[in-house]
């Protein structure tokens, strides 16, 4: 399970400086979150979806965010106050808010997927240091990227072991299945704590003292101009959304 390695073929986006892609992603995320109408986020999502297909990222990577957005859509549609539609408890205001949140989730997820798919981990870390992110945040990000796949494999192993014991059989009640999943989650947390303790001791014994060894190189003029252009593009999107609304 490769969470941070999802691109499957060479593409032009990989040649861009990681700092350009990181700042552009941040600008787009801020712009998308600031939107009050769903039209621009939906357009960005469709464009990003075509880019994901272009770089070779499996579209199934969007399934889990899509499921979450559906749940959020249903909750907001039925719980937001407003004028009911027909005999249903769904409100017009709820549908508008739910649609906006749903397309925002999909647009933000697609933007992040493009960043992850086209940026190697070392470039990502260098970019985080370049934007003067606190060292402790960079260190935690490095460790997270290093061990998230390991923990995912541990979870798959636990689930496979439970399946071998018919923990998720069709003859087992849904309450028992939830209980068994809780056991797997608890075991994963214990394994995570144990691994974190061993990694901390190993790093301490080796004299680890921070991430000062990461020193980003100077950025080229064309990359600086691209960063300014991406920030300006985000501002333009926010202003355009204000005009539409």
The DSSP call for residue 62 is G
Beta strands in 37-98 (DSSP E): none
Kindly state the average pLDDT of the residues 10-21.
82
CB within 8 Å of 62: residues ≥ 6 apart: 49, 52, 106, 109, 110, 113
Q: What is the pLDDT of residues 214-235, one digit of tens each?
A: 666 778 888 889 999 999 999 9
Q: What is the pLDDT of residues 72-130, one digit of tens each?
A: 888 888 888 777 776 567 888 888 888 899 999 999 988 988 888 888 877 888 888 88
Q: At what angle do helices 63-79 and 92-118 cross, to 10 degrees?
A: 160
In terms of Cβ atoms closer than 10 Å to its own Cβ (0-12, 13-18, 19+), residue 188 is middle
Phi, psi of 35 (to 5 degrees): -65, 145
pLDDT, greater one: 47 or 128: 47
- What's residue 183's pLDDT? 84
Kindly state the average pLDDT of the residues 170-183.
83
**Which residues are paired to 91 by β-bridges?**
84
pLDDT band at 197 (very low <50, low <70, confident <90, very high): confident
- What's residue 86's pLDDT? 63
Cα–Cα distance for residue pair 140/135, rounded to 1 Å: 9
* pLDDT, averaged across the chain: 82
């Amino acid at each position: 399970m490769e969470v941070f390695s999802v691109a499957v073929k060479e593409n032009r986006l990989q040649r861009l400086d990681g700092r350009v892609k990181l700042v552009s992603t941040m600008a787009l995320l801020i712009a998308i979150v600031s939107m009050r109408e769903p039209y621009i986020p939906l357009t960005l999502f469709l464009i990003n979806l075509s880019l994901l297909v272009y770089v070779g990222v499996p579209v199934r990577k969007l399934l889990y965010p899509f499921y979450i957005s559906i749940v959020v859509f249903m909750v907001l549609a039925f719980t937001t106050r407003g004028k009911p539609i027909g005999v249903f408890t769904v409100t017009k205001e709820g549908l508008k808010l739910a649609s906006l949140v749903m397309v925002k989730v999909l647009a933000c997820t697609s933007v992040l997927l493009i960043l992850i798919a086209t940026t190697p981990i070392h470039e990502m870390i260098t970019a985080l240091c370049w934007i003067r992110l606190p060292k402790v945040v960079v260190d935690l990000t490095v460790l997270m990227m290093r061990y998230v796949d390991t923990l995912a494999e541990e979870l798959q192993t636990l689930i496979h072991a439970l399946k071998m014991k018919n923990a998720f059989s069709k003859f087992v009640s849904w309450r028992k299945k939830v209980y068994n999943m809780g056991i797997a989650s608890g075991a994963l947390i214990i394994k995570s704590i144990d691994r974190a303790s061993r990694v901390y001791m190993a790093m301490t014994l080796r004299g680890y003292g921070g991430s000062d060894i990461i020193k980003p190189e100077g950025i080229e003029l064309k990359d600086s101009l691209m960063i300014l252009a991406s920030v300006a593009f985000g501002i333009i999107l926010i202003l355009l959304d204000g005009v539409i609304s």
